[in-house]
Chain A
Amino acid sequence: AQSVTQLDSQVPVFEEAPVELRCNYSSSVSVYLFWYVQYPNQGLQLLLKYLSGSTLVESINGFEAEFNKSQTSFHLRKPSVHISDTAEYFCAVSYSSASKIIFGSGTRLSIRP
């Protein structure tokens, strides 16, 4: 069955520290991969996506994610986090022949000053 696993439900980090939020998906020949972010009391917003081509994709606020086909992973990273990055992050996958996106259970990122 198609699925997405986010291994950490919560990740606490100190401000300006690096962070990695892990995501694995069930294997398939062709996938689209997404990270969505939900800031407190706001709706979900698309952070970045991988469709094809370069395996490293970046967002405008310093996050990046790398598509690793052999490990079926799409981990999200940021070298130095800010208080404003406090949010819940959802990894998602679409099997490109499919009509819907499947979401992981989310990782709550909390930043300590």
Chain B
Amino acid sequence: GAGVSQSPSNKVTEKGKDVELRCDPISGHTALYWYRQSLGQGLEFLIYFQGNSAPDKSGLPSDRFSAERTGGSVSTLTIQRTQQEDSAVYLCASSPDTGNTLYGYTFGSGTRLTVV
């Protein structure tokens, strides 16, 4: 596609429920990243995909968080048993890199997750 597409744009969920956030990167971009932006905070790295594999998942805050990428394209970030501290904007970005950040990223518009 023309840009990085994320869905839904907004999600309100009850504490304890599971949520899935979707990211559709720019066609042909091999690298895909998930970040989290909390109110008043910077961007917190969560996980990085190169193709379908995740060489770096060091930023996932707990085992309630997981992500997968299929076909070298769409990625899904899943949060199980959501907690109020999970409320944030979840940003996806993609890059044509093959393991190098030379090009920077193109970001999606994010999914605003609110856990009530």
Verify B101–A103 contact, CB threshold 8 A.
no
Closest B residue by C-beta to A94? B101
Give the A interface residue count (CB, 8 A): 25
Give the B interface residue count (CB, 8 A): 25
Known: A102-B45, A105-B41. A46 touches B105 (CB 8 A): yes
Verify A98–B41 contact, CB threshold 8 A.
no
Verify A96–B56 contact, CB threshold 8 A.
no
| B90 in contact (CB, < 8 A) | no
Measured CA separation A6–B45 after assembly (Å)? 17
Measured CA separation A106–B91 after assembly (Å)? 15
Measured CA separation A90–B43 after assembly (Å)? 9
Of A32, A44, A98, A104, chain B has the most CB atoms within 10 Å of the CB of A44
Verify B45–A96 contact, CB threshold 8 A.
no
* A19-63 with Cβ < 8 A to chain B: 32, 34, 36, 42-46, 49, 51
Of B56, B101, B105, B110, chain A has the most CB atoms within 10 Å of the CB of B101
Known: A43-B108, A43-B109, A46-B104. A99 touches B48 (CB 8 A): yes
> Closest Cβ of chain A: how far from B18's Cβ, in Å?
25
Closest A residue by C-beta to B95? A101
- Which of B35, B56, B101 is A32 in contact with, Cβ under 8 Å? B101
Encode B73-116 as 1/0 by CB contact (under 8 A) with A: 00000000000000000010100000111101111111000000
Verify A101–B101 contact, CB threshold 8 A.
yes
Taking CB atoms, residues of chain B closer than 8 Å to A105 are 41-42
Taking CB atoms, residues of chain A closer than 8 Å to B33 are 100-101
Additional 6 contacts, C-beta under 8 A, given A43-B110, A100-B33, A100-B101: A34-B104, A46-B105, A51-B102, A90-B43, A100-B48, A103-B42
Q: What are 18 A-B pairs at a CB distance below 8 A?
A: A43-B109, A43-B110, A44-B43, A44-B91, A44-B93, A46-B106, A51-B102, A90-B42, A96-B100, A96-B102, A99-B55, A99-B101, A100-B56, A101-B101, A101-B105, A103-B35, A103-B42, A103-B45
